[in-house]
A and B are shown apart, each in its own frame.
Chain A
């Protein structure tokens, strides 16, 4: 780890942050049993960027996020968050899992789910109180669904559920956000709201990594892209690497949306 810099960078809300890349993945290889899922992945995510991870189904996008967060043990390689192993940096990371990964019939309200983002700071045994309630309300306001705070979560639309997950990540007050398909199956209004939110985070100097499936919106929404298909196909600024050649290599054959460009 290099020197720790003391709050002299603009747009920062942390006084002390290691002067390192928010995310540095090197030689990361993950295998389930004998099947390799990710092979020798190396890339960096610079500060204050919106980064898309794209690739066909089964390319290992979600696995990549989980390996970064130590939920899956890599067979080789490692991922560093602000120059630290994830266990030491998890308070700097906000996570948005796939919407389909939980049971929305669970007896809990939108506000309650957002408060879960504060559990990490609360620590063991302590219950969320008024302060946590207020903070969670703020986060719900930020994603524009404060009026649904008390709704049981199955009574929210898909887009609203996605916003609840984003609000929960906002409550984590992180510097690096790892989000898994936040744009999946949301309505147009929600998509715009999420894009606005990502830009707002960027303007605060935060870094957001988004597992993304809609190639058409990559140039508009993101600064950088990581193109995966088990192997790393390409990574870098969207203008440089997001081209037909790299995409056909990842997706195999024609990528129709780029045909006209």
Chain B
């Protein structure tokens, strides 16, 4: 364990992997807060699955495995998925949950078929595309970290600059609209940023489990604070923590897929938060309850 920890600073490969996972954790943690508070956790899930055909089409068209190109394909495909969800909800009597389910399964199904097709062509470059399903941190190189870092930087700056706008959009969109905020456009922007977080994450965590990275750190952070800015900060930290610990375990030679390990780490943090969380943790709530009950029985006030 200690060796692994020191390797984090000395081992070139591990450092890149850990850095990449940390970046992904921060971005998905921060944007996940808004997704969770707006009850859009499952939108993240559908859009993550919707990236897969984009990755495949980008590979079929260009024949390269350059991350930037594959991720661009992923982003386009997820955006198409988002538009399709909007169109289904707005244009038919089908409700949001069904629309999410349809888009998720259709896109993921198409992506899986394309992966099989690509494998069948025997193209020498194809090996490794299936890493997008469960994620593979070991393949992260410096170039990937730079791409992820730039995307993450842009997303975080936008959140910082528009923090007050995103807050009111998430809490009370009607009131925001009455004051003249372009609620529709802000919605699209926030969804686009969630797509950016997904695109950063799919290489490492994989499309199947990416939604967990949006939802779990945010849900954990909510247990510690009643303030949005603090929640965003804590969630980003929890995301990074899960990313790094997942990367270390996965890279320690156990050959375990990174995505599931990172998600398990995040889930561990979530469970601890659920029990020990300072604001809403189970333990403190129980203690407060008991104290109040005793005070009431003794005729005093809490």
Contact residue among B168, B225, B279 (Cβ-Cβ distance under 8 Å from A116): B168
Report A-chain residues with C-beta under 8 Å of the C-beta of B174: 66, 71, 95, 97, 101
Q: Is the CB of A113 within 8 A of B171?
A: yes
Report B-chain residues with C-beta under 8 Å of the C-beta of A168: 175
> Does B180 interact with chain A (Cβ within 8 Å)?
yes
Q: Is the CB of B180 within 8 A of A87?
A: yes
> Does A119 interact with chain B (Cβ within 8 Å)?
yes
Q: Is the CB of B37 within 8 A of A103?
A: yes
Report A-chain residues with C-beta under 8 Å of the C-beta of B290: none
> Does A108 interact with chain B (Cβ within 8 Å)?
yes
Question: Bound state CA distance, A10 and B28, in angstroms?
Answer: 55
Interface residues of B in 213-272 (CB under 8 A from A): 222, 225-228, 230-231
Q: Is the CB of B161 within 8 A of A95?
A: no
Known: A90-B179, A90-B180, A107-B231. 9 other contacts (CB 8 A): A71-B174, A97-B172, A97-B178, A103-B39, A116-B167, A116-B175, A119-B168, A126-B164, A127-B163
Contact residue among B161, B171, B178, B222 (Cβ-Cβ distance under 8 Å from A71): B178
> Does B130 interact with chain A (Cβ within 8 Å)?
no
> Does A38 interact with chain B (Cβ within 8 Å)?
no
> Does B144 interact with chain A (Cβ within 8 Å)?
no
Question: Bound state CA distance, A90 and B164, in angstroms?
Answer: 19
Report B-chain residues with C-beta under 8 Å of the C-beta of A93: 178
Q: How many residues of chain B are within 8 Å of chain A by beta carbon? A: 28
Nearest-CB distance from B89 to chain A (Å)? Answer: 14
Q: How many residues of chain A are within 8 Å of chain B by beta carbon? A: 28
Please indicate which of the listed interface residues B163, B175, B230 has the most CB atoms of chain A within 10 Å of its own CB. B175
Nearest-CB distance from B277 to chain A (Å)? Answer: 12
Chain B contact residues: helix, strand, loop or mixed: helix
> Does A194 interact with chain B (Cβ within 8 Å)?
no
Question: Bound state CA distance, A116 and B161, in angstroms?
Answer: 16
**Top 3 nearest A-B pairs by Cβ distance?**
A152-B226, A120-B179, A95-B178
Report A-chain residues with C-beta under 8 Å of the C-beta of B228: 106-108
Q: Is the CB of A109 within 8 A of B168?
A: no
Question: Bound state CA distance, A254 and B226, in angstroms?
Answer: 48
Nearest-CB distance from B283 to chain A (Å)? Answer: 19
Given contacts A97-B172, A102-B172, contact A107 B179 (CB under 8 A): no
Question: Bound state CA distance, A125 and B162, in angstroms?
Answer: 6
Chain A proximity mask over B126-145: 1 for CB below 8 Å, otherwise 0: 00000000000000000000
Chain B proximity mask over A70-99: 1 for CB below 8 Å, otherwise 0: 010000000000000001001001010100
Nearest-CB distance from A37 to chain B (Å)? Answer: 17
Question: Bound state CA distance, A102 and B176, in angstroms?
Answer: 12
Question: Bound state CA distance, A127 and B161, in angstroms?
Answer: 9
> Does B16 interact with chain A (Cβ within 8 Å)?
no
Report A-chain residues with C-beta under 8 Å of the C-beta of B230: 107
Question: Bound state CA distance, A151 and B163, in angstroms?
Answer: 21
Given contacts A69-B177, A87-B180, A120-B180, contact A108 B164 (CB under 8 A): no
Q: Is the CB of B179 within 8 A of A119?
A: yes
> Does A46 interact with chain B (Cβ within 8 Å)?
no
Please indicate which of the listed interface residues A102, A119, A172 has the most CB atoms of chain B within 10 Å of its own CB. A119
Report A-chain residues with C-beta under 8 Å of the C-beta of B279: 152
Nearest-CB distance from A105 to chain B (Å)? Answer: 9
Nearest-CB distance from B91 to chain A (Å)? Answer: 11
Chain B proximity mask over A115-133: 1 for CB below 8 Å, otherwise 0: 0100110101111100000
Report B-chain residues with C-beta under 8 Å of the C-beta of A90: 178-180
Q: Interface on A for B, CB 8 Å cutoff?
A: 66, 69, 71, 87, 90, 93, 95, 97, 101-103, 106-109, 113, 116, 119-120, 122, 124-128, 152, 168, 172
Nearest-CB distance from A136 to chain B (Å)? Answer: 14
Q: Is the CB of A97 within 8 A of B175?
A: yes
> Does B204 interact with chain A (Cβ within 8 Å)?
no
Report A-chain residues with C-beta under 8 Å of the C-beta of B163: 127
Question: Bound state CA distance, A33 and B181, in angstroms?
Answer: 25
> Does B191 interact with chain A (Cβ within 8 Å)?
no
Q: Is the CB of A106 within 8 A of B171?
A: yes
Q: Is the CB of B222 within 8 A of A107?
A: yes
Instruction: Determine the residue in chain B with the shortest Cβ distance to A93.
Output: B178
Instruction: Determine the residue in chain B with the shortest Cβ distance to A101.
Output: B174
Q: Is the CB of B227 within 8 A of A128?
A: no
A-B contact pairs, 22 of them (CB 8 A): A69-B178, A71-B177, A71-B178, A93-B178, A95-B174, A95-B178, A97-B174, A101-B174, A103-B37, A103-B171, A106-B171, A107-B225, A107-B227, A107-B230, A108-B167, A116-B167, A116-B171, A116-B172, A119-B164, A125-B162, A125-B164, A152-B279
Report B-chain residues with C-beta under 8 Å of the C-beta of A119: 164-165, 168, 176, 179, 181
> Does B170 interact with chain A (Cβ within 8 Å)?
yes
Q: Is the CB of A108 within 8 A of B175?
A: no
Instruction: Determine the residue in chain B with the shortest Cβ distance to A168.
Output: B175
Report B-chain residues with C-beta under 8 Å of the C-beta of A120: 179-180
Nearest-CB distance from A85 to chain B (Å)? Answer: 12
